[in-house]
Amino acid sequence: MIVGLPKEIKDNEYRVGLTPAGVRALHDAGHTVVVEKSAGEGSGFEDSLYQRAGATIIDTADEVWAKADMIVKVKEPIAPEYPRMREGQLLFTYLHLAPDRELTKQLVERKVTGIAYETITDRRGTLPLLTPMSEVAGRMAIQVGAHYLEKMSGGRGILLGGVPGVPAARVVIIGGGVVGTNAAKIAVGMGAHVTIIDNNLDRLRELDDIFLSKISTLASSAYMIHDAISEADLIVGAVLVPGAAGPKLITQKMLKDVPNGAVVVDVAVDQGGCIETTHPTTHSNPTYYVEGVLHYCVANMPGAVPRTSTFALTNATLPYALKLANKGFYEAISTDHGLKEGVNTFGGYCTYEAVASAQGIPFTPLDQLISSSTGAAV
């Protein structure tokens, strides 16, 4: 198989889909890897490292997309990349299709096989390719929030951990999953007063044990969320519904009671966000205000720490990339149900129900399409 590694072109996105070690693994397995010139420089990987690993360096993204049977990326394609996608091509990357009607339309119309990192599952039912970036984003949320709480950055002028005789900042985290847990680790470590809100009581018990009662936990309800954020200095949105648009748990009306200069970091923004007033921003223009509350809603937060993020991501994605390359698409998904869960578009159809439901478009089960094209169920 020919595997293509284009350079990411989203605003200030410096990650890359494969490390030189990943390229070496694919090359040693007998595959051809074509890498766009300078694709890895943002993560500290010079072209020479990829060449030594067995890759061929190609000058343009157009050539990489044209040659490759499978494209390995980090972020979803954006408008300049749409014309490069072609029928039958495997696209292995984060897609986050639920809030993105145009990308979904392009993938369907161009009959691209879109395999989304964020909906692949493992035997435990967890999301192994979403976890590493959720860990990074959760930890970054507190770093970013602490920065924007500074007066010169537009915040209330509060030190997250306080000092003796002065209260620490109040951090409210909506969601106790991977993002929320990692955010809490950093916030607790910095000395903040931390509250985690979740609708899963068993998870709240686990978090209480993990943090040895150094955090407060609340069962989620509109009343409890409103009450908690009304005294918050930093609010972290960390809610995930796999493959689907996030629920709007904090409304604009609620924000009227949040202190002026408080900070919102909605990590869930790439799936539509869990706060009514959030919309995606970029690293170049990351913040805006609503009701006097500073919003930081960058959809590719881990792109700011590309070297850490690229290593963490490819540690998780490489085994799946190898499986797709070694076995081919049909055999790979027939032997790995969790990988099959990652297929969001195929053959001109939307094959992930949560995406179809979020957009109000037809959903077609992948098994139905595979059996009709191969004559065998998968």
Active site amino acids: 96, 270
Query: Please, are residues 129 and 120 in contact by the beta-carbon 8 Å criterion?
Result: yes
Cα separation, 336 vs 315, in Å, equals 18
Give the DSSP H or E segment for 131: helix 131-148
Q: Are 174 and 273 in contact (CB under 8 A)?
A: no
Name the residue among 138, 118, 169 with its Cα closest to residue 236: 138
Tokens of 235: 């609010």
Q: Are strands 293-296 and 287-290 parallel, antiparallel or unpaired?
A: antiparallel
Q: Which helix (H) or strand (E) holds 344?
A: strand 343-346
Give 292's contacts (C-beta < 8 A, 6+ positions apart): 258, 260, 261
Q: Are 127 and 119 in contact (CB under 8 A)?
A: yes
CA-closest candidate to residue 229, choices 287, 277, 281: 277
- Cα torsion angle, 84, 342, 277, 258, sign: negative
CA dihedral 167, 168, 173, 176 (to 10 degrees): -110
Q: What whole-number distance in Å separates Cα of residue 263 and Cα of residue 289? A: 9
One-letter amino acid of 156: R
Distance CA 243, CA 114 (A): 13
